Copies of this chain bind each other. A is one copy, B any other.
Amino acid sequence: MSDYLPTAPYRGTRDFLPAEMSVRQQVFGRLYEVAESRGFLRYDGPVLESAEIYEAKSGREIADLQLYTLTDRGGRRLALRPEMTPSVARIIAGNASTLQFPVRWYCHVNCHRYERPQRGRVREHWQINADIFGSDSVNADIEILGVVHDMMAAVGATRDMYVLRANDRVLLEAILTRIVGIPEERVRDVSGLIDRWEKAPRDQVRADAAELGLDDAQFDRLEAALKAGEDVLPELPADVLERSNLAAIMRSDAKDLVTYDPLIVRAFEYYTSTVFEVFDRDPANNRSLFGGGRYDDLTGLFSGQRIPGVGFGMGDVTLFDFLGTHGLLPEPRPEADVAVIPVSDDLLAPARGVATDLRKAGWRATTPIEVRKLGKEIARADKAGARAIVIIGPAEWAEGNVTVRDMASGDQRTVPAESAARAVSDLADHP
């Protein structure tokens, strides 16, 4: 056979070999622990969803350009989920009668988007989502922001490494309509302009603003408001500040959770008030890592019951870039704790028995698949990170004994086979 199939994964998707997978498992394991430590419950849902749930609410970029769609043999139009929020809104709406709101839920799922592969962008990524459904209270926003900071701390990040920038569409709309003087129906388009504010040249932004009907005075007022940061808030009417959860957070003892930034918009159309993004502060990686917000109408696609939600999605690609930039990636876990090594093929059966005893005592213990020279197996055990080896040799085994060796010190002793697990534990306790 001369032409083989390619071994590379489909463009923009990734294989995770064991060393990398071990790093991922450790990082995600810490994130799961944070979620569970706050009473968030894990859920899951399908990769395939009805295509229409994205076309309704996810924003034009995703629905038109990034969605992987297919039609099943029954003619049903499906999509590979590009994000989890519409799915969880569907699940919440469908099970609302049996849930005791508010609920705290999290998941860890793979999502697909047809992206042009580049740094920080892939076609299949894994994301953690954490959401609270069924509460308008600012406490829900505070809880979600707390999860974000706890997760960052759990992977080793300190507050000097990142900043959580937050905005509120309630505030943004009031700035646009009441301070800048933009009509309601233009709020969405001008919000899109603000989303591009820092990415496009100023002349371009000004030209785009003019095209949206902003005169020079309006543009200047908009620019001034966006630059003012928190100082713009006192200019807003009391009823607006009253309706804004973000303004409430900034008045409370939880104000350190956020840095107000009127430039934070987020592309998803379903957000209704709080929106936030976490940015890397490292100049070499100064970009948005992930974000979230409050989406009070999303379950409305699926039922007439109003169930407000607030949450975020944290994708693996930007997170692992951040961890790499800041030297926070953990080491892969050693492959096994103990290698049980028979010196000849006929001693493999007793080696299996000793390994079984070790496993019962809680050790990860291997036996060789192919029995090779003792030196080779010891080198392999060392490379695999084993803390101890148990050697099954013919003379010792004839008397029911095995040799337990500490890999760090090289110390070894011969013990009855049934004491091997105890001997390994003694080594580990007194290294």
Chain A residues in the interface with B (C-beta under 8 A): 1, 4-11, 13-18, 21-22, 24-25, 36-39, 41-50, 52-53, 56, 68-70, 72-74, 76, 78, 80, 90-91, 93-95, 100, 102, 104-105, 110, 112, 114, 123-124, 132, 135, 137, 139-140, 142-143, 146, 150, 252-254, 300-304, 335-336, 348-349, 352, 355, 359, 363-371, 380, 383-384
- For the complex, give the distance between the alpha carbons of A348 and B253 in Å: 10
Contact of A304 among B4, B150, B336, B369 (CB under 8 A): B4
Known: A47-B124, A380-B100. A22 touches B41 (CB 8 A): yes
In contact, B68 and A44 (Cβ under 8 angstroms): no
Which of A44, A80, A135, A336: most chain B CB closer than 10 A?
Answer: A44
Known: A17-B95, A91-B17, A105-B18. A45 touches B369 (CB 8 A): no
- For the complex, give the distance between the alpha carbons of A45 and B7 in Å: 12
In contact, B41 and A4 (Cβ under 8 angstroms): no
In contact, B47 and A135 (Cβ under 8 angstroms): no
B residues near A132, Cβ cutoff 8 Å: 369
Known: A37-B365, A139-B368, A139-B370. A21 touches B44 (CB 8 A): yes
The residue in chain B whose Cβ has the minimal distance to the Cβ of A50 is B10
B residues near A105, Cβ cutoff 8 Å: 18
Contact of A369 among B53, B90, B140, B366 (CB under 8 A): B140
B residues near A371, Cβ cutoff 8 Å: 139
Which of A17, A73, A94: most chain B CB closer than 10 A?
Answer: A17
- For the complex, give the distance between the alpha carbons of A104 and B368 in Å: 11
Contact of A349 among B11, B14, B143, B253 (CB under 8 A): B253
Contact of A370 among B15, B46, B137 (CB under 8 A): B137
Give the Cβ gap from A114 to chain B, nearest Cβ, in Å.
Answer: 6
Contact of A70 among B25, B68, B366 (CB under 8 A): B68
B residues near A69, Cβ cutoff 8 Å: 70
Give the Cβ gap from A104 to chain B, nearest Cβ, in Å.
Answer: 8
Give the Cβ gap from A364 to chain B, nearest Cβ, in Å.
Answer: 5
Task: Please name 15 further chain A to chain B contacts, defined as beta carbons within 8 Å, in addition to the given A13-B48, A39-B365, sorted by A numbering.
Answer: A5-B53, A7-B91, A7-B93, A7-B302, A9-B45, A14-B45, A14-B46, A15-B44, A15-B94, A17-B91, A22-B42, A39-B384, A72-B114, A139-B370, A150-B359
9 smallest CB-CB distances across A and B, nearest first, come from A7-B94, A13-B46, A18-B41, A39-B366, A70-B70, A16-B44, A39-B336, A102-B369, A37-B359
B residues near A94, Cβ cutoff 8 Å: 7-8, 15
In contact, A15 and B49 (Cβ under 8 angstroms): no
